[in-house]
Amino acid sequence: MTRLHRLLSAGLVVAALTQPAVAQTPNRAELEKAVAARHGVTVKALQDWIALPTIAAERRNVAEGAAYMVRLAQEAGFVNAKVVPTDGLPGVFGTIDVGAPVTMGVYFMYDVKQFDPAEWTSPPLEARIVDRPGEGKAIVGRGSVNQKGPEMAFLAALHALKAAGRRPPVNIVLVAEGEEEIASPNFHQIVQNPEVMAALKRTAGVFIPFNAQDRDGSAGVNLGAKGAVELQLIVGGETSNRYPKSDTHSSSHARIANPAWRLVKALDTLVADDGYTAAVDGWMENVKPLTARQRELVEQLSKRGSEADAKKASGGVGRWLGDDDYRSSIERLISRPTINIQGLVSGYSGPGGKTVLPSRAEAKIDLRLVPDQTRDEVVAKLRAHLAKHGFDDVKVNVSGGYGPNQTDENAPLIRAQKAVLDRWKIPYVINPRLAGSWPGVVFTGPPLGLPAGQIGIGRGGGAHAPDEWFLIESSDPKVAGMKEQTLLYVDLMYELAKQGRR
């Protein structure tokens, strides 16, 4: 089949898209009509959700965001959905129990990244629908693709089932958090809640709704993701009496230490002279090498898409680290842990000069981890490294984080995903590990030991950046819009009901 869908004036999803899955999803035409009939309602619901941002870093709309997530879940069929408190921002938990033999776990995040409206061409909370040349109609707004758009598509699948007068073919457990964008410091508390833990133990796996199509229409199946730790390194009057308590005149540097210089010196010890190889003692000792199968998958990934497109999507970079070729850069992306400086903050940065000696310097750091590294291990090694090099005046403030996750490609959740993509005739590659991060380790690690992954089709972009967008109607026959993504989740439920019986 050469087309995923055609756009009809009536707005219906056509047989060219849906024919392959009919055998697994009974009376599917009925569901297609339900999805199409609710499309306008679904888009409006997404726009309304974008208009209420929960921003963990700013503690913005904490209670409101959780309450709204409960409402969305209840309307979709999680009638018992409720807020789960933590030491930080709350989460949400709910179940749909239809007495099915198989249970599906779904992870949501309802928080979004910060934004500066001045950097956007379309107001970040208005969720305007814009034309993207060559792609179709997209919603532009903070959280549209990361992750409210894909999550709304999954909720729309539940609404479509209800509108068609039927129940899901699987039981469903929903867990949602409001702190993913600050590295999920308290999400483990939600999962460790006895009621939540008992429900998750019955699942065949947990997935996060996701956009996973490239411009050429091909999709990706991710078998894991790197872990992430967010922290700050701080030097100043609050960490040692050798620095001033408040900014002072720069002439004082003749007899007073500058915390910015001290921080720069500390940062320089964390990496080798090449500027990227981690130099923290013991940093690589628990890094698990790629298997032969994972290297085979890297080779397949290197033949997907184009290197030029990958560089464009990576901020317009001109060359990779170490002047790597494309394949080597992908292997590095998947297999190497990193120590990254997100930002440096100190002193005066306005127009002209101010001739001050700053009282404080801070580096915002993120660490990306691979199997078999853990959050506690790398934080301990970082602290020990700074102490060994005499930086006792550098404060390490860990604000969140978790380890990497990995899932076997033969797990029922992954088999179901691949089976649906095969029936839709969507070409895909298997990615051994996503370079980005999500807290899937709370599911894949002990005590649950569940499969986990990101599942979906369709497109979007600009996560964490200005003009974030999510494709709702595709003009490209190779790429799915929101209706198609919704139908894929319907098919996934039926396929997992088959694959997950055990």
Domain coordinates in residue numbering, the chain: 26-223+407-497, 226-287+337-402
Alpha carbon distance 160, 97 (integer Å): 17
- Residue 230: name the closest of 396, 380, 393 by CA: 396
Alpha carbon distance 240, 394 (integer Å): 9
Pick the CATH number of 226-287+337-402 from 3.40.640.10, 3.40.50.2300, 3.30.70.360, 3.90.1150.10: 3.30.70.360
- Residue 188: name the closest of 15, 441, 430 by CA: 441
Instruction: Give strand ranges (E) for 27-181.
Output: 82-84, 91-96, 103-109, 128-132, 136-140, 171-177
Measured in whole angstroms, how far is the alpha carbon of residue 444 from the centre of its chain? 16
Alpha carbon distance 157, 164 (integer Å): 11
Question: Distance of CA 208 to CAs 48, 104, 149, Å?
Answer: 21, 11, 12
Tokens found for residue 47 = 């726009």
Give the pLDDT score at 21: 41
Tokens found for residue 219 = 């999709």
- Residue 469: name the closest of 225, 211, 214 by CA: 211
Which letter does DSSP use for residue 56 in this model?
Answer: G
Classified as helix, coil or strand, 463 is coil
Give the pLDDT score at 1: 29
Tokens found for residue 52 = 């209420």
Give the pLDDT score at 501: 67
Alpha carbon distance 266, 382 (integer Å): 11
CATH no., domain 26-223+407-497: 3.40.630.10
Residues 6+ apart with CB under 8 A from 329: 320, 321
pLDDT tens sequence for the chain (502 residues):
223 333 222 232 333 333 344 347 999 999 999 999 999 999 999 999 999 999 999 999 999 999 999 999 999 999 999 999 999 999 999 999 999 999 999 999 999 999 999 999 999 999 999 999 999 999 999 999 999 999 999 999 999 999 999 999 999 999 999 999 999 999 999 999 999 999 999 999 999 999 989 889 999 999 999 999 999 999 999 999 999 999 999 999 999 999 999 999 999 999 999 999 999 999 999 999 999 999 999 999 999 878 998 998 898 999 999 999 999 999 999 999 999 999 999 999 999 999 999 999 999 999 999 999 999 999 999 999 999 999 999 999 999 999 999 999 999 999 999 999 999 999 999 999 999 999 999 999 999 999 999 999 999 999 999 999 999 999 999 999 999 999 999 999 999 999 876 4
Alpha carbon distance 145, 436 (integer Å): 14
